[in-house]
Amino acid sequence: MNEQHPSRSDGAILRVEGLHKSYGDNHVLRGVSMQMRRGETVVVIGPSGTGKSTLLRCINQLSVPDRGRVWLGDREITCKKQNINCLRAEIGFVFQNFNLFTHLTALANVRIGPMKVKGLKKAAATELAMDELARVGLSDKADAYPAELSGGQQQRVSIARALAMSPQLMLFDEPTSALDPELIGEVLDVMVSLAKEGMTMLVVSHEMGFARSVSDSIIFMEGGVILEQGPPEEFFTAPKEERTRVFLSKITELYGE
């Protein structure tokens, strides 16, 4: 996929160096380093409790890492002098549990960032938000409250909410794990089309089909470190690490091909 976008591969859009994070005695991240080029889709897999979600949260500082540095382009996110709100606005985050604002309609959920962070006028923000809702196929649900939407629709609204900020990077934290099986497809479809449009995406997921067909690179995490990283063909057919092989065989048993 990178070969198709040579112009977009200039320099790393995201750089993570030596990230450590503990919660009490639990040393969740034990020195994670990685980078992503613009337009890349990277999928992070691994057993639960190995720090995949913590990695995403440390990248946009929703959790503050104990050690290590993170750069978005040439700006250091972990630098204390950086205005973290500005940088977060450039990094979309999609949560496992959607976390749509309960008191706002779908439209208002998508509109709030452009209005209150970017300072767009209501009319302009509404237009933008309607465009983003159309992009995830939910124009007709603009006036619905989150409680009136299915899980899949809520997750699509939350993707639209992130997209409305025109992010440079999208982080997805198990975006389909809280969904009923029949609703997973509609969310994955949106993500596939985003990847095709050249959005830079870092995705924690157990959706092997998505990882195999869409990602440029797969990261296998265990015990708070990255054990293996490689392009999907290589990763699935000839994993280097024994631990990766064990995990892959378990996950294929569980989720099928």
The footprint of other proteins (CB under 8 A) covers 60, 62, 85-86, 88-93, 95, 97, 99-103, 112-113, 116-117, 145-148, 158, 161-162, 165
Q: Return the number of the residue (90 or 189) whose C-beta is nearest other proteins.
A: 90
Q: Return the number of the residue (50 or 158) whose C-beta is nearest other proteins.
A: 158
The enclosing H or E element of 32 equals strand 26-37
CB of 34 to other proteins, least distance (A): 20
CB of 188 to other proteins, least distance (A): 21
DSSP code at position 118: S
Q: Return the number of the residue (41 or 105) whose C-beta is nearest other proteins.
A: 105
Beta-sheet strand order (sheet of 75-76): 26-37, 12-23, 67-72, 75-76
CB of 117 to other proteins, least distance (A): 4
CB of 158 to other proteins, least distance (A): 8
Q: Return the number of the residue (97 or 252) whose C-beta is nearest other proteins.
A: 97
CB of 103 to other proteins, least distance (A): 5
What is the rounded CA–CA span in Å between residue 111 and residue 244?
42
CB of 93 to other proteins, least distance (A): 4
Q: Return the number of the residue (113 or 224) whose C-beta is nearest other proteins.
A: 113
Give whole-number Cα distances, 58 to 126, 232, 241, in Å: 31, 25, 26
Q: Which residue has 């002098």 as its token pair? A: 81
Give whole-number Cα distances, 101 to 137, 157, 221, in Å: 19, 11, 31
Q: Find all residues with CB under 8 Å of 184, minimum gap 6, and list them.
A: 152, 176, 207
> 129, 110 in Cβ contact below 8 A?
yes
One DSSP character per residue, 55-78 reads: HHHHHTTSS--SEEEEEETTEETT
Using N-to-C axis directions, what is the helix angle for 106-116 and 122-135, rounded to 10°?
130
Q: Return the number of the residue (170 or 226) whose C-beta is nearest other proteins.
A: 170
CB of 153 to other proteins, least distance (A): 13
Burial, 124: exposed, middle or buried (Cβ in 10 Å; 0-12, 13-18, 19+)? middle
State the amino acid at position 248 in one-letter form. Answer: L
> 235, 220 in Cβ contact below 8 A?
yes
Q: Return the number of the residue (156 or 161) whose C-beta is nearest other proteins.
A: 161
